[in-house]
Structure 1
Amino acid sequence: MSKSAEAALQELFAAAKAAQANAYAPYSRFKVGAALRSESGAVHSGCNVENAAYPQGACAETGAISAMALAGDRRIAEILVIGDGEALCTPCGGCRQRIREFAAPTTPIHIAGPEGVRSTFTLAELLPESFGPEHLSV
């Protein structure tokens, strides 16, 4: 990985970790942060927000995608998701589909723990043979 690519990944990690610290997870106590880089180069982050009407909360990836859309960006270049624990904290099925709406099959999805990036997948690896906007005549 080039020095600039490593610095860009560290920027995403720092943004996701900061978002994770602000997560509202009083029920599961499982805080998640996400940060994405849009094709414009801007970084947008989000955290999970739970609700007493569990599971009516919002995932961290959803928050980051909403922040991106609010800023006027429409394409995800890469995304990083961070969660605690031993297991990989990959996006849930709904978030994989939300990412799909704004990303290419080759878009990298970095999965991190507190120590750093643990694994990287492409969207196609996490959501093979997916349904997307091009399937609709819009």
Structure 2
Amino acid sequence: MAERKAQLDRIDLRILEVLRSEGRISYRQLSERVNLTPRPCQARVERLEAMGVIEGYRAVVKLPAARKTIVIAQVALTDHGRSQGPFEEEMRNNPAVLDCWLVSGSFDFLVRLACEDLDDYRRIADLWLKSPHFRIEKIVTAAELQAIKRSSV
């Protein structure tokens, strides 16, 4: 990452700042915001994509409240050597999992899920707890009541 930072100048950083909040902005509008002409601006964005600094673009979606219950689960594994790989694979493949982070501290993973309701979450958590592949020590859960601020970063 230090190499990438060294290769980013003031204009690159400004481009990234604008794209972080307005990923669908046109090259013409972006170029005006960073004081470049459109062609060099587009070339810089393409270079940032090729470098892997820009990993992709996504939509931030607000689900209707009646359709989904958002649950945040802190998960602690008993045996990292055997469990971490299978658990990470489950996180990547489970459609209910919106986000998952490997974290430091008293828990190993922070998982954000979209469930139909709390019973749906309980079914998912029970499957994880019963799985001999995951060896989960404990799960501590909180239901999301209201998003105060969401970032796409």
Assess same fold via TM > 0.5: no
Q: Give the greater-gyration-radius structure (CA).
A: 2
Q: Which has the higher contact order (CA 8 A, sep 6+)?
A: 2
Instruction: Tell me the TM-score normalized by structure 2.
Output: 0.24
Instruction: Tell me the TM-score normalized by structure 1.
Output: 0.26
Higher helix share: 2
